[in-house]
């Protein structure tokens, strides 16, 4: 063993260290993705697409045989919810007209919310237990950039683009330990930080930290992006408050947020390539 270590072992470890340094340096100096990662992403694209297609087909077959009575119950509940939402929409329409008139009287800029969206299919769901990522079939070819937000078809926040290749990009979901976003509690207007937490990632949950003193949260309160700093659009729904807990030291509190998105069944998303919002 000692002979081997003297002859080859140290040389091999040095080679591994050199490769590791090369990968780290390439990663550090790239604004999208390193050259090697880009090539690997392009080459593995067809295999990832094929694997996901099979995965989705199996999922579809499973959903096809789901309990029929559960679907009937869900249908009934959704009909009741639609009735409430229609009433709210009528009221909102009246409020919108009134708001527009008042803004005109006060000489304020017209409210607008323009998002430049790019639709994308999911090539691959996370293949590691230690991170929560998605790989999409859009890249620099489609003007996707690092930092772009990704939304579900319903408009809920899924994550943020962390790496971009020629025809692929990697999205860090909002439950990943590296995710951190400025958040606003919709009902109270308080500002906090939504961040991924390793203990909660397994439950598909995230943390709402730095809660202001005295804030009173209710289960079901919406947390949305604050839009402060202009990095991300405002008012994108991150999730709803599930419970409030104390930190390990017991001095601060945090809320556990349940995302609105089921990351495992997601197949299609929208990348926000640009936005122009006037509140």
Partner 1 sequence: MTAYRDLLTKWGAYGVSALVLMLLHALTLHTLAPFGVMTFLPPVLVGVVASLEEARPATIFGLALGVACDLTVAAPFPCLYTLAFTASALLASLLAKSVLQPGVLRSVIVTALTFAVTDLGNILVLAMRGAQLGPMLLLALKETVFSCLLLVVCHPLLTALHRKFTL
Burial of 140 (0-12, 13-18, 19+ CB in 10 A): middle
| Cβ atoms of 206 and 200 closer than 8 Å | yes
CB 67 → partner 1: shortest distance, Å?
A: 20
- Give me the least distance between CB of 248 and partner 1, in Å please: 8
156-185 positions binding partner 1, by CB under 8 A: 170, 177-178
User: Rounded distance, CA 224 to CA 189, Å?
Assistant: 10
Interacting span for partner 1 (CB under 8 A) from 93-101, 193-201, 218-226, 231-239: 193-201
- C-alpha separations of 101 from 93, 104, 279 in Å: 13, 5, 15
Q: How far apart are CA 79 and CA 86, in angstroms?
A: 11
Footprint on residues 3-42 left by partner 1 (CB under 8 A): 4-5, 8-9, 12-13, 15-17, 19-21, 23-24, 26-28, 36-37, 39-41
| Binding of residue 246 to partner 1 (CB under 8 A) | no
**141 counts as binding partner 1 under rule CB under 8 A:** no
253-259 vs 206-209, strand pairing mode: antiparallel
Q: In this chain, which of 88, 91, 99, 127 binds partner 1, going by CB under 8 A? A: 127
Residue 209 CA to residue 275 CA, distance in Å, equals: 26
Q: List the one residue from 126, 188, 234, 240 that touches partner 1 (CB under 8 A).
A: 126
Tokens of 172: 């860090």
Cβ atoms within 10 Å of 224's Cβ, excluding its own: 20
Contacting residues toward partner 1, per CB under 8 A: 1, 4-5, 8-9, 12-13, 15-17, 19-21, 23-24, 26-28, 36-37, 39-41, 44, 47-48, 50-51, 54-55, 58-59, 126-131, 133, 170, 177-178, 197-199, 202, 248
């Amino acid at each position: 063993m000692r002979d081997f270590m003297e002859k080859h072992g140290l040389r091999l470890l040095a080679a591994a260290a050199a490769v590791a340094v090369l990968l780290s340096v390439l990663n550090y100096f790239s604004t999208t993705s390193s050259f090697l990662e880009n090539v690997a992403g392009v080459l593995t694209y067809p295999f990832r697409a094929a694997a996901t297609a099979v995965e989705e087909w199996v999922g579809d077959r499973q959903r096809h045989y789901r309990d029929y009575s559960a679907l009937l119950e869900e249908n009934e509940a959704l009909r009741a919810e639609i009735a409430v939402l229609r009433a709210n929409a009528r009221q909102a329409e009246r409020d919108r007209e009134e708001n527009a008139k008042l803004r005109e009287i006060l000489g304020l800029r017209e409210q607008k919310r323009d998002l430049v969206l790019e639709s994308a299919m999911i090539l691959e769901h996370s293949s590691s237990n230690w991170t929560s990522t998605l790989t999409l079939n859009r890249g620099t070819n489609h003007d996707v950039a690092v930092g772009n937000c990704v939304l579900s078809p319903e408009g809920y926040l899924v994550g943020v683009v962390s790496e971009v290749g020629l025809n692929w990009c990697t999205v860090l979901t909002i439950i990943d330990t590296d995710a951190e976003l400025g958040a606003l509690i919709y009902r109270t207007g308080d500002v906090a930080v939504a961040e991924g937490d390793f203990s909660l990632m397994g439950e598909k949950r995230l943390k709402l930290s730095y809660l202001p003193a005295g804030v009173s949260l209710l289960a079901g309160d919406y947390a949305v992006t604050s839009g402060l700093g202009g990095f991300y659009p405002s008012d994108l729904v991150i999730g709803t408050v599930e419970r409030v807990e104390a930190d390990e030291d017991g001095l601060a509190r945090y809320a556990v947020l349940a995302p609105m998105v089921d990351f495992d069944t997601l197949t299609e998303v929208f990348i926000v390539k640009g936005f122009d919002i006037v509140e």
